[in-house]
Chains A and B, each alone.
Chain A
């Protein structure tokens, strides 16, 4: 890692028309408004393979998504590019570790990947806007991630390479121990 010099990509994904499923794009929009040097922000409905090309152009990628059952208010975990069997029944979407794996394998990247999972609560209807709980979790996630993005340093963040266990951090902002 090169503190202060890392190129960081934040991809917020989800459907803003499905209530809390829009947490990822909402975080992306909030980070974009900060206009942080060295930080590229992207937003999409879902992850697909072409994201691998832009991931490969960066030192760090943060995948920000809504979480149906995860920790409150959010969790951050390091992911590695080792592939896991994934059933692609019919969807055109991909998982973060797949995108990271494609970036490594196809483009020779060494990008470090993180998943920022923000807990949401309302997913099953059409509608714009976040639930109150999701909005609070978004605020907490933004407060946590902003200094890392601003300093362009993720040293010591998340689990070690190869450790798939969720590494929740930042208890000071409300994460449960």
Chain B
């Protein structure tokens, strides 16, 4: 497996959910890292799958794209279909029900990621034995944190169930609105546990903050690089995870564009195809593919917004931004702190919504002028999610274009892997330490790879080492 005398080191995680995905590290003759690439299999065949289907089925169908964030696809598709039915100006009840669903999704997703996926790295260290550096290890040594993660995840999932109808094939959001409101009985269940969730969220922010600040010297260079950042923001510049206009800033905080109507996204965002990857590489048109790539997700959102409109998350944001003197934070591992600030924001939003009587309203759907094109953007847990459809006069979908959050972070994840490889690869052996660090760097982006199939019998993580003539030198799996 050689290319012009270069050696390729392949880290191939073929896990139960991902199905496909690998890291390949290309060495030069002096065994220095020449290039590192993260290969992820993106969903395939969705456009064909959905063509010809009635547009009103789409918000349900798209949930099957991803077992991790079905709600994000559900809502982005519903927002796109709002335009098809001329119902983008939702009733207060419809918009607030959707927001509650979305904040529930953000809350459970961020909690799960932090407590059960990231906390082993933070609590045990990057070099800890994988036998303990996992959720079971956390349960054994820090059971109270593990319980918090379970119960916070459950709380968010129950909000989704109450607003979307069910966990699989949720039907809550429909073109032009929502199909149910929140009963007082349902509301009271969530109010009962709210204070506990808020308390635990504050604690999570503190853990992430303390860890980042205490290890700043070590974390600052880890898989880090300057980048542009992209997210939706409200018209007044506030963070808005459900709706808003597009803003892009550079690594120093200068605006590249601002308040771009999501329906104009194709004028500002393009995607590059590279022959070695199934996944495309989005970039800002005005900067081109070389300089126009950007990050999305919690780090980008906290960097890009002017403020957060909930008091405790805003105080946390100010503290976060102070670390980099008010400039955008480009430290990859700062994603975790930013993610917990959003967790706190989400539970604050949930609290406010639960006290809003509009959730018990009966005016659920609006329609207006019929259109043949719809675009819906949302800030999914992992970053900006784009859904774009065309529909014919027979109500059938004729075109679908999706840019998922993980695709937006494709180039940054590749850069993070390459940075880690350059800093930590020694010789031509994939050490446990290197493998751990590659995982930690990718995990910071919380990539969503579950578009692949999902069944028993998939292989575990596999690592292969080839010499410059393609001979397998070493193979490790765990």
| Residue ranges of A at the interface with B (Cβ–Cβ < 8 Å) | 13-18, 20-21, 23, 25, 43-46, 48-50, 52-53, 65-70, 83, 85-95, 98, 101-102, 105-106, 115, 117, 120, 123-127
Interface assignment of B414: CB less than 8 Å from any CB of chain A: no
The residues of A that contact B59 with a CB separation of less than 8 Å are: none
B122 vs chain A, min Cβ distance (A): 14
Interface assignment of B131: CB less than 8 Å from any CB of chain A: yes
Q: Are B446 and A101 in contact (CB under 8 A)?
A: no
Interface assignment of B275: CB less than 8 Å from any CB of chain A: no
The residues of A that contact B136 with a CB separation of less than 8 Å are: 83, 86, 98, 101-102, 105
Q: Are B150 and A93 in contact (CB under 8 A)?
A: no
Interface assignment of B247: CB less than 8 Å from any CB of chain A: no
Q: Are B455 and A43 in contact (CB under 8 A)?
A: no
Instruction: Determine which of B16, B44, B48, B168 lies in contact with A93 in the assembled complex, contact meaning CB atoms within 8 Å.
Output: B16
Q: Are B449 and A90 in contact (CB under 8 A)?
A: yes
The residues of A that contact B458 with a CB separation of less than 8 Å are: 68
Bound complex: CA of A70 vs CA of B139, how far in Å?
A: 30
Interface assignment of B207: CB less than 8 Å from any CB of chain A: no
Q: Are A106 and B146 in contact (CB under 8 A)?
A: yes
Instruction: Determine which of A94, A106, A125 lies in contact with B143 in the assembled complex, contact meaning CB atoms within 8 Å.
Output: A106
Sample of 12 further A-B pairs with CB below 8 A, known A44-B167, A126-B44: A17-B64, A21-B455, A43-B168, A88-B135, A90-B446, A91-B16, A92-B109, A92-B113, A106-B150, A123-B455, A125-B45, A127-B45
Q: Are B456 and A70 in contact (CB under 8 A)?
A: yes
The residues of B that contact A20 with a CB separation of less than 8 Å are: 455
Interface string of B163-198 (1 = CB under 8 A from A): 000011100000000000000000000000000000
Known interface pairs A48-B112, A105-B143, A126-B43; A53-B151 also in contact (CB < 8 Å): yes
The residues of B that contact A15 with a CB separation of less than 8 Å are: 64, 67, 453-454
Bound complex: CA of A45 vs CA of B170, how far in Å?
A: 12
Some 29 contacts from A to B, beta carbons below 8 A apart, are A14-B454, A14-B455, A15-B67, A17-B63, A17-B64, A21-B453, A43-B168, A44-B67, A46-B17, A49-B146, A53-B150, A66-B454, A68-B456, A68-B458, A83-B137, A90-B449, A91-B16, A91-B449, A92-B117, A93-B17, A93-B454, A94-B135, A102-B146, A106-B139, A106-B143, A106-B146, A126-B48, A126-B64, A127-B45
In which size bucket is the chain B interface?
35 or more
Instruction: Determine which of A49, A117, A127 lies in contact with B153 in the assembled complex, contact meaning CB atoms within 8 Å.
Output: A49
Q: Are B67 and A46 in contact (CB under 8 A)?
A: yes
Bound complex: CA of A16 vs CA of B170, how far in Å?
A: 13
Bound complex: CA of A88 vs CA of B449, how far in Å?
A: 12
Interface assignment of B61: CB less than 8 Å from any CB of chain A: yes
Interface assignment of B447: CB less than 8 Å from any CB of chain A: yes
Instruction: Determine which of A16, A52, A83 lies in contact with B150 in the assembled complex, contact meaning CB atoms within 8 Å.
Output: A52
Interface string of B436-478 (1 = CB under 8 A from A): 0001001100111110011111101100000000000000001
Known interface pairs A50-B153, A85-B134, A102-B139; A91-B450 also in contact (CB < 8 Å): yes
A120 vs chain B, min Cβ distance (A): 6
The residues of B that contact A49 with a CB separation of less than 8 Å are: 112, 116, 135, 146, 149-150, 153
B72 vs chain A, min Cβ distance (A): 13
Main secondary structure of the interface of A (DSSP, over half): loop
Instruction: Determine which of A16, A53, A65, A106 lies in contact with B455 in the assembled complex, contact meaning CB atoms within 8 Å.
Output: A65
Interface assignment of B49: CB less than 8 Å from any CB of chain A: yes
Bound complex: CA of A20 vs CA of B456, how far in Å?
A: 12
| Residue ranges of B at the interface with A (Cβ–Cβ < 8 Å) | 13, 15-18, 21, 43-46, 48-49, 61, 63-68, 70, 108-109, 112-113, 116-117, 120, 129-131, 134-137, 139-140, 143, 146-147, 149-151, 153-154, 157, 167-169, 439, 442-443, 446-450, 453-458, 460-461, 478
Q: Are B131 and A85 in contact (CB under 8 A)?
A: yes
Q: Are B442 and A90 in contact (CB under 8 A)?
A: yes
Q: Are B439 and A87 in contact (CB under 8 A)?
A: yes
Q: Are A16 and B168 in contact (CB under 8 A)?
A: yes
The residues of A that contact B167 with a CB separation of less than 8 Å are: 43-45
The residues of B that contact A117 with a CB separation of less than 8 Å are: 456
Q: Are B117 and A88 in contact (CB under 8 A)?
A: yes
A39 vs chain B, min Cβ distance (A): 18
The residues of B that contact A95 with a CB separation of less than 8 Å are: 16
The residues of A that contact B44 with a CB separation of less than 8 Å are: 125-126
Instruction: Determine which of A25, A50, A85, A101 lies in contact with B139 in the assembled complex, contact meaning CB atoms within 8 Å.
Output: A101
Q: Are A50 and B157 in contact (CB under 8 A)?
A: yes
B124 vs chain A, min Cβ distance (A): 13
Q: Which residue of A lies closest to B133 (CB)?
A: A85
A86 vs chain B, min Cβ distance (A): 6
The residues of B that contact A23 with a CB separation of less than 8 Å are: 455
The residues of A that contact B453 with a CB separation of less than 8 Å are: 15, 18, 21, 68, 123-124
The residues of A that contact B147 with a CB separation of less than 8 Å are: 106
Q: Which residue of A lies closest to B136 (CB)?
A: A83
The 3 closest A-B pairs by CB, nearest first: A17-B64, A45-B67, A68-B457
Q: Are B478 and A87 in contact (CB under 8 A)?
A: yes
The residues of A that contact B112 with a CB separation of less than 8 Å are: 48-49, 92
The residues of B that contact A93 with a CB separation of less than 8 Å are: 16-17, 67-68, 450, 454
